[in-house]
Amino acid sequence: MKTIINIALFIVISVGGFSQETASFKTKQLKNKRVKDAYATKWAGLESELKAKKINPSALEVFIRIFKKEKELELWVKNKSDKQYVFLKKIAICASSGELGPKRKEGDYQVPEGIYDIPSFNPNSSYFLALQVGYPNKSDRILKSGTRAGGDIMIHGNCVTIGCIPLQDGPVKDVYMLCVEAKNNKSEPRVEIYPCKFTTENIKYLNTNFNADNNKFWNNLKPAYTYFEENKVPTKYSVNTKGEYVFSN
């Protein structure tokens, strides 16, 4: 009898479309006005950009790189079955705070540097649409200099910031939708934030203008940048007890 009741309840819940088990992340996001508007006004164009790169939205994975000195956000995409990511587009970061160097405490106005996930999506942010950057990560918690590392770092719209990554509202729709699609495909977008592109000229600039602690951290982070440049695949990594990234491929 208990089994029959449970089956009946499942049938009732499922009537009218999505069941509690099958309601997708995207379906839930589309209940929000800003997300619904983003898809209505920009998805067709974004879908065409993906198809031009031979990317199927239903198999989409997303990788984001952010460069503070250049004030650029790069979007990279691939199908789940593909090995390598392909470059989709570059978006201007329209405001900034702090200076080059990692975030080490709450209230320092710094944009973090390191390797992060996107733990939450906020379609009702005071800054339009917002994607949370997973700061502090394990490295940040170990290396923090204050009592608290801080948090609530976002990629968001509205082009204002105190330690976040602000974009214009139009471009942030693209970033948000791509991450929704990836999340809907059970893929977790990865975000890597760097002080700059590690060119020969920029490395000289960092060595000349910043302290030894910053340069030690950047030398530790640089292999992730280099590996992706060479392979178009994010490197595997862990964090040791000193807060250092340890890379393995």
Predicted confidence (pLDDT) per residue in 32-77, tens digit: 999 999 999 999 999 999 999 999 999 999 999 999 999 999 999 9
Coil/strand/helix, residue 243: coil
* Neighbouring residues of 32: CB distance < 8 A, sequence distance ≥ 6: 123, 124
Look at residues 100, 105, 74 and name the one whose alpha carbon lies nearest to residue 88.
74
- The three-state secondary structure class of 154 is strand
pLDDT of res. 161: 85
**114-127 average pLDDT score:** 97
> What average pLDDT is seen over the chain?
92
Task: Respond yes or no: is residue 94 known to be catalytic.
Answer: no
Q: What is the pLDDT of residue 22?
A: 56
Residue-by-residue DSSP string for 168-227 = -HHHHHHHHHHHHHHHHTT---EEEEESS---HHHHHHHHHHS-HHHHHHHHHHHHHHHH
Long-range own/partner contacts, residues 42-49 (CB < 8 A, 24 or more apart): 42/170, 42/173, 42/174, 42/177, 43/177, 46/174, 46/177, 46/178, 49/88, 49/89
Asked if residue 21 has pLDDT above 70, the reply is no
Q: Under the phi-then-psi rule, with left for phi > 0, alpha for psi from -120 to 50, and beta for the rest, what region is 42?
A: alpha
- Residue 6: helix, strand or coil by DSSP? helix
Indicate the pLDDT class of residue 146, thresholds 50, 70 and 90: confident
* SS3 call for 167: coil
Domain locations in the chain?
Answer: 19-199
Q: Are 197 and 71 in contact (CB under 8 A)?
A: no
Residue 131 has pLDDT above 60, yes or no: yes
Q: Is 32 helix (H, G, I), strand (E, B) or coil?
A: coil
Q: What is the pLDDT of residues 157-166, one digit of tens each?
A: 999 888 899 9
- 156, 159, 179, 196: which one is catalytic? 156
Residue 114 has pLDDT above 60, yes or no: yes
CATH topology of domain 19-199: L,D-transpeptidase catalytic domain-like (2.40.440)
Mean pLDDT of 181-186: 97
Tell me which of 159, 164, 179, 196 is the catalytic residue.
164
Distance between CA 193 and CA 205 in Å, rounded? 18
Which residues pair with residue 99 across a beta bridge? none
Is the pLDDT at 23 greater than 80, yes or no? no
Catalytic annotation on 159? Answer: no
- The fraction of the chain above a pLDDT of 70, given in percent, is 91
- The pLDDT tens digits for 211-242 are 999 999 999 999 999 999 999 999 999 999 99
Residues 71-108: tens digit of each pLDDT: 999 999 999 999 999 999 999 999 989 999 999 999 99
Read off the pTM.
0.90
The token pair at 92 is: 């201007």
DSSP secondary structure string, 68-119? Answer: TTTTEEEEEEEETT-SS-EEEEEEE-----S-SS---STTS-PPP-EEEE--
